[in-house]
Amino acid sequence: MRRIGVVVNPIAGMGGRVGLKGTDGKVAEARRRGAEQRAPDRARTALASLAEVGTDVELLTYGDPMGERLAREAGFDPTVVGTPAGADETGSEDTRDAVRAFVEADADVILFVGGDGTAVDVATTLDDLDAAIPILGVPAGVKVYSSVFGVSPRAAGRIVARFSETERAEVNDIDEDAFRGGEVVTELRAVAEVPVADQRQSAKQLGGGSVESLAESVANAADPDVTYVLGPGSTVGAIKEELGFDGTTLGVDVWRDGEVLARDAAESDILDALGDRNVIVVSPIGGQGFVFGRGNQQLSPAVIRQCDLEVVASRRKLDGIGTLRVDTGDPELDAELRGWLRVRVGRHERRLVEVV
């Protein structure tokens, strides 16, 4: 019998689609912008996957809104080890309290739903307790830089039910205020024990190599009748520069025929700016291969379905990835996006890469 502790950070990822690039300290602002909770749906998917394959498991969880109801909806009869201090608002200390309770209850593994901040809370609490319990994250945050997450909620559910070996992996976090200002400042916060699995994501790496010719080729081919939705990152940032404007390095900008229609746009801004013909231009995250679902949740299923897709990457970045991944939050859309994709890697060259 495997005892699995499940804790959900219900506010994780709320800032993504509304353009906040994170939710730490920004919950009220996210709600003011119309943000909806993302983590509960991600948790449902992971728990449904766990229920499908985990026939010999006992679930420990925390009181609502941090997991109890979601576990019961998935068909489990969980042992509730505690409740958060507030019924409406939860915070870092609630996650830490849940982890402490899981340790006291002899959990074999902890499945958490959140982003890098939640991963830090879980891993550092275990460090403080000197408890060598493996952890795995269900990716639900805006930024997911650490290598302690499954590549998707379904993968995370399967992994915690089936893994037999563990290894050490990095828990990284970034300064969200610096991130909102266009700068990535990462910090190694912990090293955690995690399941060994092919479906666990790598830590983010920055791609190397020149992208000037790639950016120039995309800019020169720009059609004045097309609305371009330009994603985050240095590769697409070089394209923005070639198009003649100072883009948002870590946000999404919308451009058409020499005019910036939306800068650092939220999902609603993008939808308002779309025209008759639209193209999303994105570059996969180095080391992980994610095209959608990591740091660009503004590119929601509603946006993606109204656009053609142009994926760009340096040859060096693709060499370090192998395959591409998508995690839009819409399983049907993810299935539609999977398959072979022609990625632009140079002025005239494209490379066929599989989206898995």
> Beta partners for 253?
230
Counting the structural domains of the chain, the total is 2
User: Residues 269-284: pLDDT tens digits?
Assistant: 999 999 999 999 999 9
179 and 235 together in one domain:
no
Q: What is the per-residue pLDDT for 230? A: 98
φ and ψ at residue 93, rounded to 5 degrees:
-65, -30
Q: What is the per-residue pLDDT for 209? A: 40
Q: Would you call 57 exposed, middle or buried from its count of C-beta atoms within 10 A (0-12, 13-18, 19+)?
A: middle
Q: Confidence class of residue 208 from pLDDT cuts 50, 70 and 90?
A: very low
Residues 6+ apart with CB under 8 A from 61: 5, 6, 7, 67, 68, 71, 78, 79, 80, 81
Residue 322: closest CA among 293, 343, 337: 343
Q: What is the per-residue pLDDT for 207? A: 43
Q: How many CB atoms lie within 10 A of CB 188?
A: 11
Which residue type occupies 238? A
Range picked from 82-86, 162-166, 170-174 for highest mean pLDDT: 162-166
User: Residues 59-96: pLDDT tens digits?
Assistant: 999 999 999 999 999 999 999 999 998 766 788 999 99
Residues 6+ apart with CB under 8 A from 319: none
Kindly state the helix (H) or strand (E) to which residue 176 belongs, with its residue range.
helix 176-180
Residue 246 maps to a domain: yes
Q: Are strands 350-355 and 325-326 parallel, antiparallel or unpaired?
A: unpaired
pTM beyond cutoff 0.85? no
Q: What is the per-residue pLDDT for 287? A: 81
174 and 249 together in one domain:
no
18 and 150 together in one domain:
yes
276 and 303 together in one domain:
yes
238 and 127 together in one domain:
no
Q: What is the CATH number of the domain that holds 30?
A: 3.40.50.10330
Residue 60: closest CA among 75, 50, 48, 71: 71
216 and 311 together in one domain:
yes
96 and 242 together in one domain:
no
231 and 317 together in one domain:
yes
22 and 162 together in one domain:
yes
User: Residues 303-328: pLDDT tens digits?
Assistant: 999 999 999 998 888 888 889 999 99
Last residue of a domain, one of 140, 165, 195: 195
Residue 29: closest CA among 41, 40, 17, 18: 18
Q: Do residues 171 and 188 lie in contact, with contact meaning Cβ atoms separated by under 8 Å? A: yes
Residue 251: pLDDT over 70: yes
Q: What is the per-residue pLDDT for 184? A: 55
Residues 6+ apart with CB under 8 A from 259: none
Q: Confidence class of residue 98 from pLDDT cuts 50, 70 and 90?
A: very high
Q: Confidence class of residue 206 from pLDDT cuts 50, 70 and 90?
A: very low
Residue 262: closest CA among 243, 249, 248: 248
Least confident residue range of 85-94, 228-237, 326-335:
85-94
Structural domain of residue 267, as residue ranges?
A: 212-355
Which residue type occupies 287? G
234 and 189 together in one domain:
no
Mean pLDDT of the region 180-203: 77
Residue 44: pLDDT over 50: yes
Q: What is the per-residue pLDDT for 319? A: 81
Mean pLDDT of the region 229-238: 94
Q: What is the per-residue pLDDT for 14? A: 60
